[in-house]
Every structure is written in structure tokens, then in C-alpha cells.
Structure 1
Amino acid sequence: MSVDVMPARATSLRAVWPAILGLSVVFLVEMLDNSVLNVALPTIARDLHATAADLQWITSGYSLLFGGLMIAFGAIADRFGTRRMMLVGLVLFALANLAVLVVRTPGELIAVRAAIGVTAAMTAPGTMALCFRLFDAENLLMRATGVISSVGLIGLAAGPTLGGLLLQVSSWQTLLVINVPIAVLAIGCIGFGIPADDATNRNRTPLDLLGALLGTATIILALWSATLVVENGWLTAAPALIGAVLSAIGFVVRERTTAHPLIDIALIKRPTVSAGLAYQAALGLGMAALAYSVTLQLQLVWGWSPAEAALGNLPQIVVMLAIGPFVEKIVDRLGAGVAGPLGAAAVVAGLLIYALLGRDSYAWIALALAVAAAGMRVVMIIATVTVMRGLPEDQTSTGAALNDTGQEVASSVGLAVTGTIVAAVLVGSLTDVGTSAAATHSFENAITAATLSLTAVCAALSVWAARRAAS
């Protein structure tokens, strides 16, 4: 499936539509895969007699391995071939999802979800790396990035609704089996639409296996620590957090001393790359602050149902989708050096609106979600293009993985910070919120304090990124 059907660099999206469709489908599955299964957790618990701990590992096992392995697989893809890694990953991804049909116990489902997480991590770095292989023109790169991410956002928004509808007419296993034909479609589009990897553009340096192990351990332990902090507090999370810190120290020492580092620190220090990564970290914190706080407020304080709360978050997704086609025009008119800081300022403004006025009425929440979403969409696309443009072609998969992992880790840190502040300030328990005036008031104060704290960090990162990009 290595047919060259297009020029090395295309001059329009239409000329490479099979490739764009295939990459969009891959990103769709990544966004859809976790959210679509969440609505089935009660059904899974009944069918498999799963405990609360089992359900936690069914969801977190996927996300931990997916987030933790992306950088390692990105480095492997730069050496093995990005397109080849994508196709192998998609085949294994389809088989892993199909394996759900033989699941009979919670342990077997956890193993299947772990396998899906590993195979998804194999495909994730290639999405943007292969996209950047298609074009030279920056406006086309932004347009293509916008299209691919828009499809993913549709999956993120439609996931719970689609899952609920499928559960009405089919078993919960269908929610994973449906990924198989989607993966087959992606294999066909990418195999037909993207030329075979050029051996001259591969990274020829030896793979730093020790660095890969230390980096993977750092990310997995950091994500796990954040989950434990939110659910059980710092005491339970302490061993995982200590392990994450030790692994991180070991990783940095290894990368600074080895002759062939997994991640070249000198590349990360490039102004465009470091600025883009800082923007992505700011976005991760901002998204975490809104996603966690708004959902809890709508349900616990105002008594909305889960379905109503999901609809209440729609302004964020709708605005992101609506503004996507205009990002290229915004950057053309203002330049990335102006559009990036303006987008980041919109994110900060949205967070401030929610923190200071969100408890008064839903209108303020909707406005906060819309303003922050508009800024996030602009910054997200600019930051991705900036990071990828700042890297040599034989390290684009590693760069794409670093870009995605940075935002995911920052999002987990944001959730941990919010959960910690809520736990420290809350009077009583979360179940008392909405029924006890004291608990409700303390919860609202905690959410305000957490959002303002994350807003300050988000603003600081954005200012640093803007200054770094301008240097």
C-alpha cells in the first residue's frame, strides 16, 4: 500500500483529500475512544460485576499508557518510518478493539483497554507529523491542522451522545468494535494518500532506550499521581509523585549526558519550539480549569442532570468548531506574533469571567466558555504549527508527541490542583454540595480560588511564550 499518488508537497487540501481524511479519522478515534466508553461504565459494572477500582482502571489504564508512550513511539517512528508506524499501529489498534468480543471479566477488559492505549500511542505522533509532510505553505498547514482538529472536536462533543444512543440498541462492546471499520478506513486513506517514508529523512541515530523508559515512567507516574490526588488526596499519591520526580531527574540527567538523546534539549530551547510548548501547557491548564469546575458546578450546585451539564459545556465545542476556518485568516491579517498573544489573552479573559462571575448565572458561564474556546482554538493551531516548524524533518514525530504530551500533562496537573484546593477548602463532602449552604458556599469559593490560581499560571506561561516567540 505504498503508492505515490501525489506530489511531495501539495498546493491545496483538495489535492491530498484522502490523506487529510485518513489523518482526521485517526484523530477522531483518539478523541472519541475514551469519552464514548464513559457512558457505558454502569452497564459494564453490571455485566462484568466490576468494582469501582475496576472501572477506574478501565478508564485510566487507557489514558495512562496513551499519554505515557507517545514520546517513545514518536522517537521510534522517526527511525522506523512515520507512515509505517501509523499503519502498523492502526492494524494493531483494530485488533485490540476487536478483542473486546472475548472479554468476560473486568481484568480482561482492563488488559484490552491497556492494549488499545498502547496502539493509540503508536498512531498519535504520526497525525501531525504526516500532515506537515504534505505541505510547504504555512497557510495550508494551518488549514489542514484546523480541519483535522475540528474532526477530533466533533468526536469529543458527540462521544457521550453517540455512546448513549448506541447503548439503546446494542451492547456496550459495540462502542469499541465500532473503532474497527474506522481504523480500516484510516488504513486505506493513509496507505493510498501518503507516499511511503523516504529513507533519507529518517533519524539515523541510535534509539535511547534508557531515556525512553525514564521518560515514559515520568509521564505515566505524573498522570497517575494527578488522578490519585483528585480521587484520594496527596497522601495516597505521594509514592507515585515521588517516583515521577525521581524518573524526571533521571531522564534529564540521561538526556544531557548521552551522545544520542531521545529528545535533543537544544531543539526544545529553540524560541519557536519552547514558545509553542509553553502555549500548549497554558492551554492544558485552562481547559482543565473549565472542564472540571463547570461540570461540577452545574451538577452539584445547580442540580443539573449529567445530560444537561454536557449540553451546558457545548458553547466551548461549538465556538472551537466555528472559529476553526477563520484562524488562517486571523493569522494572515495579524501575524502569528500578534494572533498568538491575543488568543492567549482571550483564554485568560474567559477564565477570569468564569472565576469572578460564573456563580451568578449560566449566561456568564456560557460567555466564559465561548471566549476561552475562541482563544484556545487560535493558540492551539498556532502553537502546533510553531512547534512542528521549529524541528528538523527527522524528528517531527517526536515533536508532535512532545506537543500533545505537554498539553495532556498540564491538563492533569490542572485537575490535580483544582481537586486539591476543593478538598482543602470544602466544608463537608461533595455530596453535601447543593443541600448544605455551608458546603455549597465553600465549594464555590474553592472553585473560584482554583480557577484564579490556574489563570495566573496560564497568564504567566502565555506571557513568557509570547516574549520567547518574539526573541
Structure 2
Amino acid sequence: MTSLLPDVRSTRRWLALGVLALAQFLVVLDASIVNIALPVLGEQLRMDTAALAWVITAYVLAFGGLLLLGGRLADRYGHRRVFLVGVAGFIAASALAGLSSGSAMLLAARAVQGASAALLAPAALALLTQLFPETRERTKALGVWGGVAGIGSAAGVLLGGVLTAAFGWQSVFFVNVPIGAAVLVAVPLLITRDRAGRPSRLDLPGATTITAALVAAVGALSSVEQLGAAHPLTLALAVAALGLGTAFVLIERRSPAPLVPLDVFRNGNLTVGNLVMLLVGAATVALFFALSVFMQAVLGYDALTAGLAQLPLAGALVVVAGLAPVVIARAGARSTLIGALVLLAAGLVWLAAAPSDAGFVAQLLGPSVLIGIGLGGAFVTTTQLSVDGVEGGESGLAGGLVNTSQQIGGALGLAVLATVAASRTESLVASGASVPDALTGGFSWLFLGAAGVALAAAVVAGFSRSGAASPR
């Protein structure tokens, strides 16, 4: 009997991997490049700091909320097909964002970008795992994947500064169009076959409830800063998030074709990998948002200088992501991951000590490099854990889960840590501190909070099976 499971074929696997990684580059580039442009964008569109956070959150919510559905669509209709649809949507939404004349149009375009990324990201990772089914080659491929993601971060912080200074904030969105077009042309030529999976019902109730639960949760956390924890709207959103989350679990238990079969979490490394990615996402999204604003609003850097100042972090991430497969093979996944997370936490604590007149070499360079080393090792190892032992028919689901964990963590982490930072800043202003010192104090608390989250991730990583990601 002929198998109906996804069957990917390519005569040039490593070149195909490069093109798939280029699509991941788009997703990562978009996050870092937009961060650099936020202050200029906010000034021109008259958006305050809270509104600017939603430029990130609108994307992350749509991305994280729809990733599981995107992964299931890829498993059902074919990973290559869904991947290409996602890339096309991402290109269109990027163009729309660049043409935005107001905040409402921009936020809508960012949400469409996120929804499109929710289609392409899990499909791309599923294609990778099927192109490289043998563990040794898959680990190398994931090293390339992580390295390209790091290059996306590096290119984003540099291009964000250059493009914003030379052509305006709109150009940080328009740059996605030619890159995406190249991916659209190359993938059908390099991946020659991708059969759809077994026909099944789509779990639309599950997708709807989990997306609504995420929106309510982030809305509740965001409203704490604006309205207070005891405000009726804050409490209503919190109750809605809890109720919708509970409903999602019940739906998944009873659905004949669940969005997330709960028995998938019997895979211990998949479960640990997703929990760690949730926490790492919470720390890093808040970090990059705060670091860009700190450099420009407090230290007085322009967009180009802020981009150049973040290159050591991104460069360290690139180098370590490329070396991570070798370290994993020798030391095992668990030791590698715990070590990377401890380094990340140490770098964040170091960064939290930076004063309002911080010098780059004296107070920013060291922690930036340490953070980059930690992130490079953490992302590659966590991704490997999250797809370890997953069958081909559920590779889209696995890709959706790990990306969902990262984006959900990012949305929640930004909401919580930005609220902590804002509260600390307001307290310092009320006590008579200058605005630069008050902002610095708020960002310091944010960085310390992110360090605590990274240490919590290291504790969770201790429950993974040692050496599970090493070559077999």
C-alpha cells in the first residue's frame, strides 16, 4: 500500500536547505530590522512606547497563535505548497506595511505578516527534517539553520540602521519583497516532490480557541501597565484567557483530528524543548526590544549606530550556531543547552549594570558577546530537542509547536517585562530621577527579569535526556 505521509524529494538537498533557511532569514530579519526602526517609525506615525510595543506584539500574536494550525495545514496539504503560500503572503504583507500611512494600517499589515509566517515557518522546518532524516546530517542542517537565523539578526540590526537612515522606516519592510521573491522561484526548482498527507478534518475550534486565549492573555498583561491589575478589563481578559485555554485542552481531548494530539507530549525531549523555547523566547524578544530603545532613547545613538552596536551580539550568535552541532556531538544536548542558558543569563545580568552614560566598549561590548554566545547555543540545541524522534507525518506539527513556543513566549515575555520596566521607570521619575536615569533603571529591571527567565529555562533543560541530540 502506498504511503500517504508527506514525501519530500530533492536532488540538491543542501542547496534546498539554503533556500529554506533564507525563508527563515526573512522571519528573523523582520524582527530585528523592525526593532531598529521603531523610534523613527514612532515619531513619524505619532506612536508612543506602548503603541510601539504593539508593532512587535501584533506580529508575534498572529504568528504564535496560528502556528499550530499552520503546521497542521502543512501536514495535510503538503509542506512545500503551504510554505510557498506563506512566503507569498509574507511578501504582500511586507509591501502593505511599507505603504502604511497610519498606525492602524501598519498594525493590520504586521498581523498579516505574522499569519503568513505561521504558514511558512513550520512547513520549512518540516521540509528540513524530511530532507535530512539521519540524525548526524540533521544536526548539521540545524546548525546551518541556526547560523542563518543568526545572520538574519546581524543583517537586521545593520540593515535596519542603514535603511532607516538612508531611505526611511518604510524600507525595512520593502526589503523583504526581493528576498521572498527569490525563495518563491527557487523552492519549486529544488524540491521536486512533496505529497500531501492523509486527508483529515481541520480542528478549527481548537485553532480559534488557542488564538483567542493568546490574544486575551497578552491583552491582560498589557493592560496591567495602562489600567492596573485590579481594573475590570484586566480581570475580564485574564478570566477569558484562562477559560479559553481550558476549553482548548478539552477540545483537543475530544476532537477526532486534534490540532495538537496531547500524546505527542509523551516525547520527553519534545516537551522539554518546547518549554525551554517558550522561556528563551520570553527573554530574547523583550531583550532586543529594550536594547534598541535603550541605545537610541537613552544613549543617543542614531539608527545606524544602534545597528552597528548590536553587530557583536549577532556575530557571536552566528559563529556559535555554526559550532553548536560539534559541541552537541561531544558534550551532549543537555550539557550544551544548560551551559548556553547560563551564559545567556550572565550576559543579561552584566548588561543590567550599564549606566545611563554607558560606553560601548567598557559596558556594552562584553555582555553583548556573552548574550550572543548563549543565544546561539540555546536556539540550535532547543530546536534539535523539539524535533527529536518525531515521525514524518507529524513534522509539520513539531515545527509548529517549537515556533509557537518561541512566539508565545516572546509575546508574554514582552508584555510582562515591558510592564515591569515601565513601572520601575515611573517610580524613579516620581522620586525625582532624571528621565535618562529613570529609563535606564527600568531597562535594568527588564534585563534582570530576562536573566531570571533564562535561568529558569536552564533548570527545565536539566530534565532532557542527555545526549539525545547527539549523532546516533
TM-score range, shorter chain: 0.7 to 0.9
Is the 8 Å Cα contact of residues 301 and 433 (structure 1) preserved in structure 2? no
* Cα distance in structure 2, aligned partners of 1:399 and 1:43: 38
Deviation at 1:254, TM superposition (A): 1.4
TM-score w.r.t. length of structure 2: 0.82
* Cα distance in structure 2, aligned partners of 1:350 and 1:15: 40
Are positions 1:418 and 2:413 aligned together? no
Deviation at 1:173, TM superposition (A): 4.5
Deviation at 1:430, TM superposition (A): 9.4
Match of 1:75 among 72, 77, 83: 72
- In the TM superposition, 1:339-418 aligns within 5 A as 339-354=336-351, 363=362, 365-418=364-417
Map of 2:325 onto structure 1: 328
Secondary structure in structure 1 of the residue aligned to 2:194: coil
* Cα distance in structure 1, aligned partners of 2:312 and 2:59: 28
User: Structure 1 residues 317 and 432, CA, compared in 2 at 3 Å: closer, same or farther?
Assistant: farther
Match of 1:243 among 240, 251, 265: 240
Is the 8 Å Cα contact of residues 340 and 466 (structure 1) preserved in structure 2? no
Root mean square deviation of aligned Cα: 3.7
Match of 2:216 among 217, 221, 236: 221
Match of 1:266 among 263, 267, 289: 263
* Cα distance in structure 1, aligned partners of 2:100 and 2:447: 43
Are positions 1:176 and 2:176 aligned together? no
Is the 8 Å Cα contact of residues 418 and 447 (structure 1) preserved in structure 2? yes
Q: Which has the higher contact order (CA 8 A, sep 6+)?
A: 2
Q: Select between 109-118 and 128-137 the one with higher mean Cα deviation.
A: 109-118
- In the TM superposition, 1:154-173 aligns within 5 A as 154-167=151-164, 170=167, 173=170
Is the 8 Å Cα contact of residues 139 and 325 (structure 2) preserved in structure 1? yes
Question: Which residues of structure 1 form unaligned runs of 5+?
Answer: 1-6
> May I ask how many residue pairs the two structures share in their alignment?
456
User: Structure 1 residues 404 and 301, CA, compared in 2 at 3 Å: closer, same or farther?
Assistant: same
User: Structure 1 residues 387 and 179, CA, compared in 2 at 3 Å: closer, same or farther?
Assistant: same
* Cα distance in structure 1, aligned partners of 2:443 and 2:164: 35
Are positions 1:211 and 2:210 aligned together? no
* Cα distance in structure 2, aligned partners of 1:452 and 1:429: 25
Is the 8 Å Cα contact of residues 348 and 458 (structure 1) preserved in structure 2? no
Are positions 1:119 and 2:116 aligned together? yes
Question: Which residues of structure 2 form unaligned runs of 5+?
Answer: 1-6
User: Structure 1 residues 301 and 94, CA, compared in 2 at 3 Å: closer, same or farther?
Assistant: closer
Deviation at 1:58, TM superposition (A): 5.1
- In the TM superposition, 1:122-137 aligns within 5 A as 122-137=119-134
Q: Select between 246-255 and 177-186 the one with higher mean Cα deviation.
A: 177-186
Amino acid paired to 1:241? A
Over residues 81-116 of structure 1, what are the superposed CA-to-partner deviations in whole Å (9 max), with x where a residue is unaligned? 111101122233333444568756554444433333
Amino acid paired to 1:395? E
- In the TM superposition, 1:50-199 aligns within 5 A as 52=48, 59-99=56-96, 106-167=103-164, 170=167, 173-199=170-196
* Cα distance in structure 2, aligned partners of 1:354 and 1:43: 24
Over residues 406-453 of structure 1, what are the superposed CA-to-partner deviations in whole Å (9 max), with x where a residue is unaligned? 12222333333333433444424499755587x479647745763564
Deviation at 1:268, TM superposition (A): 1.5
Q: Select between 78-87 and 341-350 the one with higher mean Cα deviation.
A: 341-350
Over residues 102-150 of structure 1, what are the superposed CA-to-partner deviations in whole Å (9 max), with x where a residue is unaligned? 7565544444333333222221211211111111232322222222332
Deviation at 1:37, TM superposition (A): 4.3
Map of 1:283 onto structure 2: 280
* Cα distance in structure 1, aligned partners of 2:38 and 2:372: 29
Amino acid paired to 2:137? L
Map of 1:255 onto structure 2: 252
Secondary structure in structure 1 of the residue aligned to 2:193: coil
Deviation at 1:403, TM superposition (A): 0.3
- In the TM superposition, 1:300-315 aligns within 5 A as 307-315=304-312
* Cα distance in structure 2, aligned partners of 1:467 and 1:150: 23
Map of 2:4 onto structure 1: none
* Cα distance in structure 1, aligned partners of 2:52 and 2:418: 20
* Cα distance in structure 1, aligned partners of 2:366 and 2:98: 44
* Cα distance in structure 2, aligned partners of 1:102 and 1:304: 26
Is the 8 Å Cα contact of residues 226 and 412 (structure 1) preserved in structure 2? no
Amino acid paired to 1:408? Q
User: Structure 1 residues 195 and 241, CA, compared in 2 at 3 Å: closer, same or farther?
Assistant: farther
Deviation at 1:338, TM superposition (A): 3.1
* Cα distance in structure 2, aligned partners of 1:376 and 1:41: 23
Deviation at 1:400, TM superposition (A): 0.9
